[in-house]
C-alpha cells in the first residue's frame, strides 16, 4: 500500500456492519468493539473487546465496558457507529476508501425516491460488532481538505480527476475530507465521484451538503438516505492523534420545496454534547460542516458546548468563495478568544464554469478571484496551520498582482496596485515595493471585486451578447442568453458566476516619479499562521 496509515480489509466488509445472527430486543442494540487481529472483520474466538471506546446511535454516547461491550437505545432510522479512538482504525472500503464504522438500522428500508436509499435491514441483530485495528498516529500530521467537489455528471468527475486527484495521488497525509456538496443533485454520481477521490490513496471523509440530499424525500428523516447508503452516517466523530474531529450535518431540507436552512437539531446537538463530555478540555476540537457556522439557526446551543474550550476550529464551504471569520460576541460567541471559522475554497471553483485551460479543464475561478483548489491542514497537538494549494499551479502561487497596462507616466501615484492574497485574512500583513531596493509600503485591505475575474467574466458575457445580437432576436432576455450559453458551452465553458466582493484584496498606490519604462512590483505577505509568501509583476509606465 502507498500509505502507512491506510489499513484495508477484504472487500466483504464493505457490505455489512459485522452482525450477529439472532434478533435482539427491539428497543436496544448491543455489541462488542473488538481488536480485529486477523483483519477479517469478524469477532473470532480469541479476539478480545476494547474497553472505553465510544459508541453512539446518533443521539446517545456510551463507552464500552472492560469486555468491549456496549448497549444503546435503538429506534427505526438510526445509524449506530463506533467513534474511532486515537491509535485505532476501522476497516476501509477498498473500492471507495471510505471508513466503515457503522450499522444502519432501517427495518423497512427507505421509501421509494428518485435515487436509491437504504435497503430494508430487518430486525436488530443479536450483536452489532465493530472491528478496530491499531495504527501509528503521530502528534504532528496533516490532512487534505476540499470544499465542494460538486460534480454533476461523469464529465465533471473527470475534471476533478484531472485537476486535483492526479496531483494528490500518493500524498502522505492522515486522511482527506470534502466539506459537502460532493455532487450536484444527481446522487447517482456519488459512487463515480468517490472512486475518483479514492485514487488519492487516503481514507476519505465526506460531509453532506445541500446538493447531496434526497430532495423528494417524503419526511425529514429520509433526506440523507442515499448519502448514508454510500458514505455512512451523516454526522459522527473520530479522533486522530491528539485531535478530535466532529462531522456535522447542518442542512434542514424543507419537505415538498426546493429550499433548506442551516440547522443541527436536538438529536445532533445531544450527540455533540455527549461526545464532548469524553474529550479533555485542553484538546483541539475541529468541526467539519457544509453551510457556514454563522448561518446555523441553533448555533447558540453549539457555541454553549464549545466556548469554554481553549482550542477549537471549524470549517465549512458552500458559498464558493473563501473567508476567514473570527467569531466574537457580535456573533454570539463568548469564549475567552475568538473562534476561527474557515469558509473554505471549493475544488470545483465556481461550479466547473468558465473557459478551458490548456488541458481542457474549466478554469473555474471562484467569484472572489481565488483559483479552485484545496488545502493541506497541518496539526501539531493543539496547534494547526492551513496552507492553500491552487489546482494545477505551483505551491508558491498564493496571490495575483494587478495594475493596468500601461501605467500613465504623468500620475503613477494615482494608480493602485491590487493584490488578491488567495488565503489572506484580516490577520494578514501585505506589503509592496517597486524595484529591488527602497522601503516596503503597507498595503490596505478593502472589499471589492477582483479585477482579473471581472475581465474573465466580462469576456464570456460579451461573447454571449454578441451572438445574441447576431441572431437579431426580437428581445434579448435572460432566457435567450442562457440558451446561447448552453449552445456554445463546448467553446466558452459553463457560465461563470457573477463577480462578488472578495474578502482578501489589498491595495496601495504606486510611488510618484516613476520613469517611463518597465518596473517590477514586489509583494510579500505574512499570514495568520506566520507563513510568508512573495510574488512579483512587471509593469510598464508610459
The Cα–Cα gap between 345 and 354 comes to: 17
Q: 341-350: per-residue pLDDT in tens?
A: 999 999 999 9
Residues 465, 466, 469: CA angle, nearest 5 degrees? 85
Q: Is the pLDDT of residue 443 over 50?
A: yes
Structure confidence at residue 471 (pLDDT): 85
Structure confidence at residue 262 (pLDDT): 98
Q: Which pTM value belongs to this model?
A: 0.94
- Average pLDDT, stretch 55-69? 98
Domain ranges of the chain: 11-390, 399-450+501-541, 452-492
Q: Identify how many contiguous H helices and E strands the chain contains and give both numbers.
A: 9, 29
Q: Is the pLDDT of residue 524 over 90?
A: yes
Q: 27-60: per-residue pLDDT in tens?
A: 999 999 999 999 999 999 999 999 999 999 999 9
One CATH from 3.60.21.10, 3.30.70.260, 1.10.357.10, 3.20.20.70 for 11-390: 3.60.21.10
* More confident call, 182 vs 486: 182
Contacting residues for 267 by C-beta, under 8 A, at least 6 apart: 58, 59
* More confident call, 476 vs 122: 122
Note the Cα 229 to chain centre separation in Å: 20
Residue 97's region, left for phi above 0, alpha for psi from -120 to 50, else beta, is left
Contacting residues for 259 by C-beta, under 8 A, at least 6 apart: none
- The Cα-based distances of 438 to 106, 521, 522 in angstroms read 70, 12, 11
Structure confidence at residue 18 (pLDDT): 39
The Cα–Cα gap between 186 and 460 comes to: 27
Task: Outline where 161-238 has alpha helix (H).
Answer: 166-168, 190-198, 225-231
Q: Is the pLDDT of residue 8 over 80?
A: no
The Cα–Cα gap between 364 and 349 comes to: 5
User: What are the DSSP calls for 379-402, one per residue?
Assistant: EETTEEEEEEEETTS-TT--EEEE
Residues 446/418, Cβ–Cβ less than 8 Å: no
Q: 99-134: per-residue pLDDT in tens?
A: 999 999 999 999 999 999 999 999 999 999 999 999
Q: Which residue has the cell 499551479?
A: 393
- The Cα-based distances of 29 to 32, 38, 124, 277 in angstroms read 11, 25, 7, 22
The Cα–Cα gap between 209 and 127 comes to: 32
What's the grid cell of residue 35? 481488536
CATH number, span 399-450+501-541: 2.60.40.1220
Structure confidence at residue 22 (pLDDT): 37
State the Cα torsion 299-301-303-306 to the nearest 10°.
-140
Structure confidence at residue 26 (pLDDT): 56
The Cα–Cα gap between 65 and 74 comes to: 19
Kindly report the number of other CB atoms within 10 A of residue 254's CB atom: 12
- Average pLDDT, stretch 170-189? 98
Q: Is the pLDDT of residue 269 over 90?
A: yes
Q: How many residues does the chain have?
A: 542
The Cα–Cα gap between 203 and 491 comes to: 37
Kindly report the number of other CB atoms within 10 A of residue 241's CB atom: 18
For 377, list phi and psi in degrees, rounded to 5.
-110, 120
Q: What is the mean pLDDT of the chain?
A: 94
- Average pLDDT, stretch 387-398? 97
Q: Is the pLDDT of residue 530 over 60?
A: yes
Q: 305-335: per-residue pLDDT in tens?
A: 999 999 999 999 999 999 999 999 999 999 9
Structure confidence at residue 218 (pLDDT): 97
Structure confidence at residue 482 (pLDDT): 85
Q: Is the pLDDT of residue 481 over 90?
A: no
The Cα–Cα gap between 184 and 340 comes to: 28
Kindly report the number of other CB atoms within 10 A of residue 435's CB atom: 11
Residues 486/348, Cβ–Cβ less than 8 Å: no
Residues 179/288, Cβ–Cβ less than 8 Å: yes
Structure confidence at residue 23 (pLDDT): 41
Q: Is the pLDDT of residue 169 over 70?
A: yes
The Cα–Cα gap between 340 and 287 comes to: 11
| DSSP bridge partners of 145 | 177, 375
Structure confidence at residue 412 (pLDDT): 82
- Average pLDDT, stretch 135-145? 97
Structure confidence at residue 120 (pLDDT): 97
Contacting residues for 478 by C-beta, under 8 A, at least 6 apart: none
The Cα–Cα gap between 320 and 372 comes to: 9
Structure confidence at residue 475 (pLDDT): 80
Amino acid at each position: 500500500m502507498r500509505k502507512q496509515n491506510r489499513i484495508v480489509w477484504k472487500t466483504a466488509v464493505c457490505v455489512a456492519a459485522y452482525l450477529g445472527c439472532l434478533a435482539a430486543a427491539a428497543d436496544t442494540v448491543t455489541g462488542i468493539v473488538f481488536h480485529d487481529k486477523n483483519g477479517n472483520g469478524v469477532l473470532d474466538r480469541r479476539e478480545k473487546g476494547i474497553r472505553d471506546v465510544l459508541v453512539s446511535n446518533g443521539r446517545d454516547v456510551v463507552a464500552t465496558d472492560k469486555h468491549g461491550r456496549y448497549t444503546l437505545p435503538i429506534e427505526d432510522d438510526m445509524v449506530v457507529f463506533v467513534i474511532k479512538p486515537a491509535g485505532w482504525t476501522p476497516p476501509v472500503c477498498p473500492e471507495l476508501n471510505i471508513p466503515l464504522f457503522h450499522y444502519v438500522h432501517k427495518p423497512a428500508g427507505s421509501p421509494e425516491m428518485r435515487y436509491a436509499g437504504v435497503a430494508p435491514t430487518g430486525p436488530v441483530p443479536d450483536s452489532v460488532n465493530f472491528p478496530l485495528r491499531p495504527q501509528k498516529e503521530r502528534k504532528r500530521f496533516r490532512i487534505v481538505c476540499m470544499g465542494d467537489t460538486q460534480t454533476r455528471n461523469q464529465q465533471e468527475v473527470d475534471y476533478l480527476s484531472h485537476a486535483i486527484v492526479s496531483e494528490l495521488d500518493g500524498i502522505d497525509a492522515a486522511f482527506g475530507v470534502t466539506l459537502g456538496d460532493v455532487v450536484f443533485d444527481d446522487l447517482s454520481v456519488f459512487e463515480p465521484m468517490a472512486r475518483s477521490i479514492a485514487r488519492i490513496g487516503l481514507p476519505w471523509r465526506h460531509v453532506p451538503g445541500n446538493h447531496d440530499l434526497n430532495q423528494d424525500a417524503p419526511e425529514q428523516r429520509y433526506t440523507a438516505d442515499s448519502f448514508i447508503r454510500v458514505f455512512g452516517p451523516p454526522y459522527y466523530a473520530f479522533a486522530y492523534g491528539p485531535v478530535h474531529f466532529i462531522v456535522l450535518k447542518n442542512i434542514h431540507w424543507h419537505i415538498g420545496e426546493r429550499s433548506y436552512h442551516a440547522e443541527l437539531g436536538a438529536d445532533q446537538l445531544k450527540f455533540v454534547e455527549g461526545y464532548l463530555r469524553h474529550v479533555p478540555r485542553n484538546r483541539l476540537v475541529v468541526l467539519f460542516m457544509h453551510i457556514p457556522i454563522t448561518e446555523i439557526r441553533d448555533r447558540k446551543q453549539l457555541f454553549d458546548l464549545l466556548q469554554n474550550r481553549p482550542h477549537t476550529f471549524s470549517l465549512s464551504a458552500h458559498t464558493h468563495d473563501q473567508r476567514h471569520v473570527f467569531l466574537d460576541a457580535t456573533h454570539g460567541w463568548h469564549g475567552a478568544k475568538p473562534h476561527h471559522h474557515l469558509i473554505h475554497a471549493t475544488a470545483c471553483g465556481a461550479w466547473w464554469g468558465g473557459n478551458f485551460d490548456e488541458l481542457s479543464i474549466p478554469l473555474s475561478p471562484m467569484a472572489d478571484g481565488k483559483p479552485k483548489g484545496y488545502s493541506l491542514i497541518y496539526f501539531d497537538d493543539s496547534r494547526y496551520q492551513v496552507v492553500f494549494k491552487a489546482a494545477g499551479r505551483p505551491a508558491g502561487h498564493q496571490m495575483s498582482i494587478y495594475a493596468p497596462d500601461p501605467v500613465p507616466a504623468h500620475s503613477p501615484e494615482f494608480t493602485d496596485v491590487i493584490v488578491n492574497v488567495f488565503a489572506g485574512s484580516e490577520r494578514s500583513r501585505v506589503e509592496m515595493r517597486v524595484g529591488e531596493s527602497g522601503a516596503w509600503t503597507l498595503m490596505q485591505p478593502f472589499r471589492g471585486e477582483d479585477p482579473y475575474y471581472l475581465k474573465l467574466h466580462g469576456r464570456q458575457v460579451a461573447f454571449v451578447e454578441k451572438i445574441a445580437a447576431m441572431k437579431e432576436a426580437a428581445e434579448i432576455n435572460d432566457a435567450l442568453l442562457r440558451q446561447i450559453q448552453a449552445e456554445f458551452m463546448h467553446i466558452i465553458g459553463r457560465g461563470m458566476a457573477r463577480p462578488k466582493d472578495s474578502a482578501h484584496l489589498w491595495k496601495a498606490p504606486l510611488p510618484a516619479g516613476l520613469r517611463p519604462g518597465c518596473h517590477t512590483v514586489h509583494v510579500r505577505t505574512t499570514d495568520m499562521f506566520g507563513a510568508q509568501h512573495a510574488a512579483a509583476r512587471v509593469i510598464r509606465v508610459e
